[in-house]
Amino acid sequence: MNELVFVGLGLNDEKGITIKGLEETKTADQVFMENYTSRMPNFSLKRFESFCGKKIQIVDRQTLEEENGKLILKAAKEGKTVFLVPGDPFIATTHVALRIDAEKQGIKTRLVHGISIISAIVSMSGLHNYKFGKTVTVPFPENFSKTPYNVVAQNKSIGLHTLCLLDLKAYKKEYLSINQALKMLLEIEARNKRNIITPENIAVGIARAGNNNPTLKADYISDLLNFDFGQPPYSLIIPGELHFMEVEALIAFADAPRTFKRLSK
């Protein structure tokens, strides 16, 4: 059957895919995968190919963006085509255009979800999902932006937590560190003096979400600046108001100092 199935690979390694996603891959005529929007640090293409018994064609940014995914659309006109994407296929918006193009060309498309960083981080932290506001990405210093600070400020003004995704250059294996992200936020604070993100405020740093040994550390920002999170990838939560159960969770799961008990409302 001619169709294009977008399949999420989830997080961390080749075992992050769902049974359903693996079955779809096994029954495909052609399988493509991109590895430039995100990185799965422990993903082995070789192991994954032996899992699914298929040869996988890696597509780079140029093939997808400059050639508008022609290669993939052509395959989808010829038979069942699976396009593997780290995380969940459309949480990053990069591939939405490809799906729109496929539908416009009369190609049937389907979506098999993968674990996304945006739900994994919330779940790991033990913080309450309905208390998160808008999500933001903190860029590398060379792309300095006040947006992350402003989003945190907006969320905090209504008591909400902010999930900060930290930028990465997948092809170079370069990751913005939690230290760099915090420093950028503190620098903006120093100029604006709005008392939104100070060294005395708290934050939660997360390394290696989806891995068997993630690092989760909640602390005052002044102390987090010196904390060694180990290997990437990294994320950051700037909490708003904390419920006492959320404080309990941060103490139990994120090794928060017991003085956090003073923070809950």
* Closer residue to its own copies (CB): 130 or 172: 130
| Nearest C-alpha neighbor of 263 from the set 179, 217, 208, 200 | 200
Lookup: tokens for 5 = 């199935």
The distance of closest approach from Cβ of residue 109 to its own copies in the complex, given in angstroms and rounded to an integer, is: 8
Count of beta carbons in the 10 Å neighbourhood of residue 65: 13
The distance of closest approach from Cβ of residue 116 to its own copies in the complex, given in angstroms and rounded to an integer, is: 4
> Which residues, listed in sequence order, are joined to residue 10 by a DSSP beta bridge?
87
* Closer residue to its own copies (CB): 225 or 251: 251
The distance of closest approach from Cβ of residue 16 to its own copies in the complex, given in angstroms and rounded to an integer, is: 6
Binding site for its own copies (CB under 8 A): 8, 10-11, 13-20, 22-23, 51, 88-93, 96-97, 99-100, 103-104, 110-111, 113-116, 118-120, 122-124, 126, 128-137, 154, 158, 160, 210, 212, 245, 248-249, 252-253
Phi-psi region of 221 (alpha: psi -120 to 50; beta: other; left: phi over 0): alpha
- CB 135 within 8 Å of CB 160: no
* Closer residue to its own copies (CB): 16 or 232: 16
The distance of closest approach from Cβ of residue 49 to its own copies in the complex, given in angstroms and rounded to an integer, is: 14
The distance of closest approach from Cβ of residue 38 to its own copies in the complex, given in angstroms and rounded to an integer, is: 13
Distance between CA atoms of 24 and 11, rounded to whole angstroms?
Answer: 18
Q: For residue 254, which amino acid is it?
A: A
* Closer residue to its own copies (CB): 15 or 194: 15
* Closer residue to its own copies (CB): 128 or 179: 128
Q: Give kind and range of the element (H or E) at residue 211.
A: none
3-state secondary structure (DSSP) of residue 206: strand
